[in-house]
Amino acid sequence: MILGDKKMRAVEISVIIPVYQAEKSLSKCIESIRNQTFKDWEVIFINDGSTDNSGSICEAYADLDKRIKVIHQENAGVSASRNLGIEKAAGSYICFVDSDDYIDKDMLLKLYEAIQEQESHLSCCGFKRVFYHGEQIKKEVDVLPACGDIQDEEAFKAQFGLLYEKTLLGAVYCKLYRTAVIKQHKVRFCSDIYIGEDFLFNQEYLQYGFQISIINQPLYHYICKDNGSLTKKVDFNKEQYNRILFKKSREFCENKGIWEETKTYISKLYLRGCFINIEQIFGADIHIKFREKIKYVKKITASSETKEALKIKKKKDPEYQLYRIFLKSKNTIFIMSFAYFRLVLKKIVR
């Protein structure tokens, strides 16, 4: 079943789900949507060139439930898939769900009621990080906004940094967007990067309105699978994406007049990202010459974004102070040792 020129019935919520090699998780994902207490939705599957049974599963659900549509395309990435879903969305609101994840039965209803009742620009709930070891759940961590509704500029100025640091603005899941705003202003995902694209989408969307309805409940389940090694494959472009995100976030906050209130949060997340990028050079299955590792760390510490972030101080934040101490030292062995320790500690905690 391909979504084409056929006239689409108007619905309230369009749920856009990019799908790639998701045959093991797809049924749980779509069943969590079919079981929603809110019924006026459509699902748009974008099968992004899957070579497993994902496409067939999508088609089977489309045959079972006429609210479900399927688009098949050659592999183009998650951003391109979401952008295509936006073009095809018939709903008054858009919700993004990843095919690995699932949602609580009341998530759509609560997001919808909140954005409707308060006439907000966006509604946002918390999410639950679900860590797996093999097929068993090892740990669950709730990530909550921990703030009230944002309905005026002062509240936006006070709360934006907190939401940013908690990465609630770094994801497009667990949110409900107004379709008219997205389409009218041509808000789209950047297909040139694959880290931080959700942050950039949210910041572009928030250029056109700051009112956010907050639901302090973890209604979205974000699945974190253990891949069996310390890190995934190395991608040296990640440090570039981290710099782009810092620069774009600073520009957004300056345009909104909130940079002074948010710069410590944005700098902290950037410095954390530096260490996450350094962590990827470790792992038993990663074969990189030591001098290449040194060169990569030096590139991170020498960037203008790192230098700017290190100038910004935040008192009474031990995590932030540790990042600053190690990166300011410019001692690559010192920095790499801390990154490795941080990586191992995360694996133990999780």
pTM: 0.91
pLDDT at 10: 82
Report the relative pairing of strands 122-133 and 41-48 from DSSP bridges: unpaired
More confident residue, 7 or 44: 44
pLDDT at 9: 55
- How many C-beta neighbours within 10 Å does residue 210 have? 20
pLDDT at 234: 80
More confident residue, 225 or 227: 225
More confident residue, 287 or 92: 92
More confident residue, 41 or 138: 41
pLDDT band at 285 (very low <50, low <70, confident <90, very high): low
Residue 256: pLDDT over 70 = yes
Mean pLDDT of 78-85: 97
CA distance 280 to 286: 9
Return the closest-CA partner of residue 71 out of 79, 53, 59, 57.
Answer: 59
Phi, psi angles (nearest 5°) of residue 71? -120, 130
CB 143 within 8 A of CB 221: no
CA distance 200 to 123: 17
Least confident piece of the model among 5-19, 55-69, 311-325:
5-19
pLDDT at 232: 58
pLDDT, tens digit, for every residue of 145-186? Answer: 989 999 999 999 999 999 999 889 999 999 999 999 999 999
In this prediction, what percent of the chain has a pLDDT beyond 90?
A: 81
Residue 67: pLDDT over 80 = yes
Please state which CATH class domain 11-225 belongs to: alpha beta
Mean pLDDT of 78-91: 97
Instruction: Look at residue 116 and give its three-state secondary structure.
Output: helix
pLDDT at 245: 95
For CA atoms 326, 227, 240, 272, the dihedral sign is: negative
Q: Angle 259-279/332-349 helices, nearest 10 degrees?
A: 90
Mean pLDDT of 220-229: 78
| Token code pair at residue 220 | 């979205």
CA distance 228 to 303: 32
pLDDT band at 229 (very low <50, low <70, confident <90, very high): very low
What's the DSSP call for residue 208? G
Give the H/E segment covering residue 139. Answer: strand 136-143
All CATH 3.90.550.10 domain ranges in the chain, comma separated: 11-225
Query: Cα–Cα–Cα angle for 226, 228, 230, nearest 5°?
Result: 90
pLDDT, tens digit, for every residue of 177-202? Answer: 999 999 999 999 998 888 899 999 99
